[in-house]
């Protein structure tokens, strides 16, 4: 009995066991069905979504930065080019401890304190997870050494990059300018102009000079590569490629050798020189002294050099030719004479008596020559540079007539030269004064203020490029061209050249005989007048005019140069054109605190003209110069 | 000739052809996917083939051990396993933030792996011994035998192994006839204990569970695995991207792609069709296991076979569920497919036991 019960129990247990097993099997099937449902959901229903995500994972668009266009002088001399070199770059976002990483790097390659400082500065300025250079210009040995240690430095990479280089260094630095790393302000502007997409991947942008003003030409069109990337963001292979279009090459009107001659001629003096081809407006030389080495700026200037440049009393970063405003001094006189003729206030032969001063409203305006020039006609007034003659003339013309005439020569307006940052200068007039001042008693123009305007003093303030444009216009018989630095834009691919057309801005209506007279008088300056010493023995005929711009009024005292501090000394000016019959070059020279124009500015003009017209190098620049005197 | 024939017959005497065939196909699929997952690195594949050969040999040995001998090994194995687990907790080797390994002489062992078989063995043996007089008390003792190693493994921490051992133990309890009322009560108690369990969890374990709820919260951290494996599965579509052509796999987006996440590789390259084939292969193995279980002669062998079968299912379900983003990321390999020798040996040991149960003369217990 008992045994039967057990057997029955046993079979019942087996039945229950199998029931439970069946339940478990049902459980297995249910869960597998659930899995299958999930697979169908992922692989069929949501397939598109996940396929897109996988593609987005896989494919990355990498910009390919175009080669920047070259900048060449009119003879094909290279002013700015690119070369390829290794840099060591850190992506800060991928590095946990920057300091430790840099310290460890320093054991593998040289990392100077200068490099660290620059890196820190870039770090402060950088906006995203871009890689920043800790070292540039790695030598092959250093590159190899890093490559061997690469595994120790995640987030640090060696990159072959194109660098901008300015082979002529300081020469023409104010013209060519420089590029620098794109900063927040540049980015903002790129976004505003809708240019940003073309700058994906670009690290540099023109900051100053031609590099800035022709940025669009020089930059080129960024290419794109579709690359397959792995989870670490490393490119595995290229799927498609739209090649970049290199930037266009620029050929300047500038003559690099002439530029150098002009720069050398300044010696240690501060100042500016602009030489223009009168028939086209092409700028042949554009000097602002002192200059600076633009190469310092390309990779971000280190604080030490920056301080030195920025805090220097000589202000080397200031583009004097473009932004500096100076009274023209006596170089204003030929235009005054022309105004008198054109407006019928004087004839060529009318004379005045010059006692050495002109009295107006109880105030005595002195002539720079004590005792005066005696009987002075218009020719003599230019050649000998009589102040009294022009005091009287200004008084007779009145301020608004002077301003109206001078405006035609471009005084007081931007020339529109093709680099940015030009100053306007001041062409004084009643209207200008009203605009300039706020208090009513200051707004009024006093007749006494007109007197010194006649000799290029008073409120007169013009940029050297305005002075050059004016003399070029005069040399070109009144036809004015907008000065321009760039002559050709050369399409990178095709080599097709597009000329920057000379743009005649206006023709100043001048009677030929008046023009001819003023030019003749200016030739007289260089032959027998204030420029005669500087131009003694010249093998060409040139016209010129000296000028001396007072830095501060000596209120009736006699100006004694030696007693005045160097920086308060007068500025020395000279304008010139040559050859006189058919001018090929017109220029304006300004030497800050150079004293009399005849003494410092005129010899610089002479050297420039000698080189341009005769190919004659100044002695200091001649190969194997035999030591004579110093340059004159 | 007759000698060879007799040798061959001896060799296959205790093997189950059906089980071996289905498992063999899975292992073959594993080698094929591994070649792709290892970026066409053949040495990985040959390494795994060696693992398989060793594991198959062990399976053969196990298939030839009569089930009664197995039962006798239950208590010593369990005791050894517990001893080692305690040793790990005291002197274990810490690697990747977990204390799982124990150095013995020249090599290091992972005692929790041993427990995957020792625990169900112990429970099956215990129930078998007390078959005639099963009472509630016996279930309580069995639960204690299960919970002791579980707690130690959970604290190592090794969530994957803990889950598998818990499952294998639970299956024994369930098949041994644990009453439904108690199971319902346990479920309620489990829900109530969840906060306690939560407090016992390590940060990364909590993160994984939170991540399951919303992987996008931490796309580069804890959610990364799930997001990338889900993309891999989904982008495979119906037909898959083709062998060796999975972009998620070959561009490094999939982590652990030869081991715990190998299913993502498979799924990306072979698509829904491939997944279906895989599910069917597992169902064949599990189905055969269930048949063996149903026909097993003794209470012990029934419990053991059932636990082995259902645990293998648990492996597969947890792994695929984790890759497909419906279960948290726990370290459970895809059975018979994932790269790795240890789990291969454990799994084939289990299959060897199933074969042993199936092929040894059914001694009717008196």
Residues 6+ apart with CB under 8 A from B170: B146
Distance CA A256, CA A611 (A): 12
Q: Do residues A386 and A373 touch, judged by C-beta distance below 8 A? A: yes
State the average pLDDT for chain A.
87
Q: Using 50, 70 and 90 to split pLDDT, how confident is the model at A632?
A: very low
Tokens describing residue B256: 């652990």
* A462 torsion bin: left (phi>0), alpha (psi -120 to 50), beta (else): beta
Chain A contact for B175 (CB, 8 A cutoff) = yes
Question: Is residue A579 scored above 60 in pLDDT?
Answer: yes
User: Which of B231, B288, B310 would you mutate first to test chain A, the one with the most A CBs within 10 A?
Assistant: B231
Chain A contact for B267 (CB, 8 A cutoff) = yes
Chain A contact for B357 (CB, 8 A cutoff) = no
- Measure CB to CB from residue B248 to each of A21, A32, A57 and give the nearest one: A57
- Measure CB to CB from residue A21 to each of B175, B234, B247 and give the nearest one: B175
DSSP per-residue codes, B104-144: ETTEEE-HHHHHHHHHHHHHHHHHHHTGGG--HHHHHHHHH
DSSP label at residue B8: H
User: Which of A42, A129, A228, A234 would you mutate first to test chain B, the one with the most B CBs within 10 A?
Assistant: A42
Q: If you count residue pairs, one on A and one on B, with CB atoms under 8 Å apart, how many are there?
A: 117
Q: Which of B315, B324, B160 is nearest to B229 (CA)?
A: B324
Q: What residue has token string 């009995």? A: A1
Q: Using 50, 70 and 90 to split pLDDT, how confident is the model at A55?
A: confident
Residues 6+ apart with CB under 8 A from A489: A214, A217, A248, A249, A250, A251, A497, A498, A500
Tokens describing residue B235: 């982008």
Residue A60 annotated to the active site: no
Distance CA A417, CA A419 (A): 6
DSSP per-residue codes, A586-611: EEEEEETT--STTTTHHHHHHHHHHH
Tokens describing residue A580: 């006189």
Interval B62-73: pLDDT, tens:
999 999 899 999
- B185, burial (CB in 10 Å: exposed 0-12, middle 13-18, buried 19+): exposed
Q: According to the model, what pLDDT value does residue A11 have? A: 82
Chain B contact for A568 (CB, 8 A cutoff) = no
Q: Do residues B337 and B316 touch, judged by C-beta distance below 8 A? A: no
Q: Helices B341-359 & B42-63, crossing angle to 10 degrees?
A: 30
Chain B contact for A226 (CB, 8 A cutoff) = no
The interface predicted TM-score (ipTM) is: 0.94
Contact at CB, B290 and A228, closer than 8 angstroms: no
With residue B98 as reference, give the H or E element that holds it.
strand B98-104
Q: Using 50, 70 and 90 to split pLDDT, how confident is the model at A584?
A: very high
Q: Return the minimum-mean-pLDDT range out of A59-63, A229-233, A380-384.
A: A229-233
Contact at CB, B248 and A54, closer than 8 angstroms: yes
Question: Is residue A627 scored above 60 in pLDDT?
Answer: no
A residues 55-94 near B, CB within 8 Å?
A: 55, 57-58
User: Which of B179, B233, B235 would you mutate first to test chain A, the one with the most A CBs within 10 A?
Assistant: B235
Evaluate the omega torsion of the peptide bond into residue A331 and state whether it is cis, within 30 degrees of 0: no
Interval B38-94: pLDDT, tens:
988 899 999 999 999 999 999 999 999 999 899 999 999 999 999 999 998 888 877
Q: According to the model, what pLDDT value does residue A555 have? A: 42
Looking at chain A, which residue has its C-alpha nearest residue B291? A21
Q: According to the model, what pLDDT value does residue A7 have? A: 54
Identify the active-site residue in A173, A202, A213, A330. A330
* Predicted confidence pLDDT, tens digits, chain B (366 residues): 789 999 999 999 999 999 999 999 999 999 999 999 998 889 999 999 999 999 999 999 999 999 989 999 999 999 999 999 999 888 887 776 677 777 776 667 788 888 999 999 999 999 999 887 778 888 889 999 999 999 999 888 888 899 999 999 999 999 998 888 888 988 898 888 888 878 877 777 777 777 666 666 666 566 788 889 999 999 999 999 999 999 888 888 888 899 999 999 999 999 999 999 999 999 999 999 999 999 999 999 999 999 999 999 999 999 999 999 998 888 899 999 999 888 999 999 999 999 999 998 765 543
With residue A205 as reference, give the H or E element that holds it.
strand A204-208
Q: Which of B353, B352, B366, B363 is nearest to B297 (CA)?
A: B363
- The full set of domain ranges for chain B reads 14-359
Chain A contact for B219 (CB, 8 A cutoff) = no
Could you tell me where the DSSP H helices lie in B14-66? 17-37, 42-63
- Measure CB to CB from residue B324 to each of A18, A35, A53 and give the nearest one: A35
Q: Helices B223-236 & B262-295, crossing angle to 10 degrees?
A: 80
């Amino acid at each position: 009995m008992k045994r039967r019960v057990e057997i029955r129990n046993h079979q019942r247990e087996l039945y229950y066991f199998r029931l439970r097993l069946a339940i478990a099997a049902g459980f297995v099937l249910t869960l597998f069905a659930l899995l299958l449902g999930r697979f169908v959901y992922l692989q069929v229903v949501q397939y598109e979504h996940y396929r897109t995500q996988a593609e987005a994972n896989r494919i990355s668009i990498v910009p390919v930065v175009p080669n920047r266009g070259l900048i060449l002088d009119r003879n094909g001399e290279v002013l700015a080019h690119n070369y390829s070199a290794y840099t060591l770059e850190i992506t800060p976002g991928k590095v946990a401890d920057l300091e430790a990483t840099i310290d460890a790097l320093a054991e593998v390659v040289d990392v100077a304190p200068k490099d660290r400082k620059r890196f820190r500065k870039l770090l402060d300025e950088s906006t995203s997870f871009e890689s920043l250079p800790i070292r540039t210009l790695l030598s092959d040995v250093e590159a190899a050494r890093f490559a061997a240690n690469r595994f120790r430095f995640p987030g640090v990479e060696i990159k072959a990059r194109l660098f901008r280089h300015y082979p002529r260094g300081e020469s023409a630095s104010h013209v060519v300018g420089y590029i620098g790393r794109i900063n927040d302000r540049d980015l903002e502007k790129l976004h505003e102009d809708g240019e940003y997409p073309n700058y994906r991947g670009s690290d540099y942008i023109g900051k100053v000079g031609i590099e800035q003003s022709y940025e669009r030409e020089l930059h080129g069109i960024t290419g794109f590569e579709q690359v397959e990337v792995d989870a670490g963001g490393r490119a595995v292979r290229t799927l498609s490629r739209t090649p970049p279009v290199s930037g266009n090459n620029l050929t300047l009107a500038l003559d690099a050798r002439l530029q150098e001659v002009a720069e050398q001629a300044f010696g240690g003096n501060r100042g500016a020189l602009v030489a223009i081809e009168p028939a086209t407006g092409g700028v042949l030389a554009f000097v602002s002294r002192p200059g600076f080495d633009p190469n310092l700026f390309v990779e971000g200037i280190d604080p030490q050099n920056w301080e030195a440049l920025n805090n220097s009393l000589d202000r080397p970063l200031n583009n004097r030719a473009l932004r500096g405003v100076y009274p023209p001094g006596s170089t204003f006189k030929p235009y005054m004479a022309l105004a008198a003729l054109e407006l019928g206030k004087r004839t060529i032969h009318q004379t005045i008596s010059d006692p050495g001063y002109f009295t107006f409203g109880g105030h005595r305006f002195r002539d720079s020559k004590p005792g005066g020039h005696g009987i002075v006609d218009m020719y003599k007034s230019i050649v000998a540079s009589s102040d009294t003659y022009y005091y009287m003339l200004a008084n007779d013309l009145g301020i608004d007539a002077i301003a109206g005439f001078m405006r035609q020569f471009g005084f007081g307006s931007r020339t529109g030269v093709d680099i940015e940052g030009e100053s306007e200068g001041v062409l004084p007039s009643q209207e200008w004064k009203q605009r300039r001042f706020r208090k009513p008693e200051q707004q009024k123009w006093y007749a006494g203020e007109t007197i010194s305007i006649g000799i290029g003093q008073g409120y007169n303030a013009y940029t050297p490029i305005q002075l050059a444009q004016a003399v070029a216009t005069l040399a070109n018989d009144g036809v004015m061209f907008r000065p321009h630095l760039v002559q050709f834009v050369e399409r990178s691919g095709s080599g097709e050249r597009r000329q920057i057309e000379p743009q005649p801005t206006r023709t100043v209506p001048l009677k030929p005989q008046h023009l001819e007279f003023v030019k003749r008088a200016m030739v007289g300056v260089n032959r027998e007048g204030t420029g005669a010493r500087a131009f003694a023995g010249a093998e060409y005929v040139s016209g010129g005019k000296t000028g001396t711009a007072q830095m501060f009024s000596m209120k009736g005292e006699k100006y004694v140069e030696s007693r005045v501090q160097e920086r308060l000394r007068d500025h020395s000016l000279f304008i010139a054109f040559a050859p006189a019959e058919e001018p090929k070059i017109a220029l304006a020279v300004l030497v800050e605190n150079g004293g009399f124009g005849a003494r410092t500015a005129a010899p610089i003009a002479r050297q420039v003209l000698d080189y341009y017209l005769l190919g004659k190098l100044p002695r200091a620049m001649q190969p194997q110069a035999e030591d004579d005197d110093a340059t004159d | 000739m007759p000698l060879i024939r007799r040798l061959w017959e001896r060799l296959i005497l205790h093997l189950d052809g059906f089980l071996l065939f289905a498992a063999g196909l899975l292992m073959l699929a594993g080698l094929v996917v591994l070649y792709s997952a290892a970026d066409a690195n053949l040495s990985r594949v040959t390494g795994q083939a060696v693992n398989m050969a060793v594991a198959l040999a062990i399976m053969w040995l196990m298939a030839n051990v009569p089930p009664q001998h197995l039962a006798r090994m239950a208590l010593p194995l369990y005791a050894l396993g517990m001893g080692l687990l305690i040793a790990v907790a005291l002197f274990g080797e810490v690697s990747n933030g977990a204390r799982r390994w124990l150095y013995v002489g020249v090599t290091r062992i992972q005692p929790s792996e041993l427990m995957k078989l020792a625990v169900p063995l112990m429970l099956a043996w215990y129930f078998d011994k007390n078959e005639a007089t099963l009472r509630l008390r016996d279930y309580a003792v069995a639960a204690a035998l299960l919970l002791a190693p579980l707690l130690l493994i959970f604290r190592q921490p090794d969530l994957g192994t803990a889950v598998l051992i818990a499952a294998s133990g639970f299956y024994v309890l369930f098949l041994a006839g644990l009453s439904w009322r108690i199971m319902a009560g346990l479920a309620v108690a489990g829900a109530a204990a969840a906060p306690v369990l939560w407090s016992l969890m390590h940060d990364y374990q909590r993160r994984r569970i939170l991540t399951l709820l919303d992987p996008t919260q931490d796309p580069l951290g804890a959610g990364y695995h799930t997001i990338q494996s889900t993309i891999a599965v989904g982008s495979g579509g119906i037909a898959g991207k083709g062998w060796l052509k999975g972009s998620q796999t070959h561009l490094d987006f999939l982590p652990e792609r030869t081991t715990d996440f190998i299913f993502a590789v498979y799924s990306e390259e072979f698509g829904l069709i491939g997944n279906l084939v895989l599910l069917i292969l597992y169902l064949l193995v599990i189905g055969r296991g269930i048949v063996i279980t149903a026909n097993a002669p003794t209470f012990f062998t029934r419990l053991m076979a059932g636990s082995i079968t259902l645990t293998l299912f648990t492996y597969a379900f947890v792994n695929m569920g984790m890759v497909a983003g419906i279960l948290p990321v726990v370290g459970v390999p895809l059975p018979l497919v994932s790269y790795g020798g240890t789990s291969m040996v454990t799994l084939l040991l289990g299959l060897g036991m199933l074969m042993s149960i199936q092929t040894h003369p059914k001694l009717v217990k008196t």
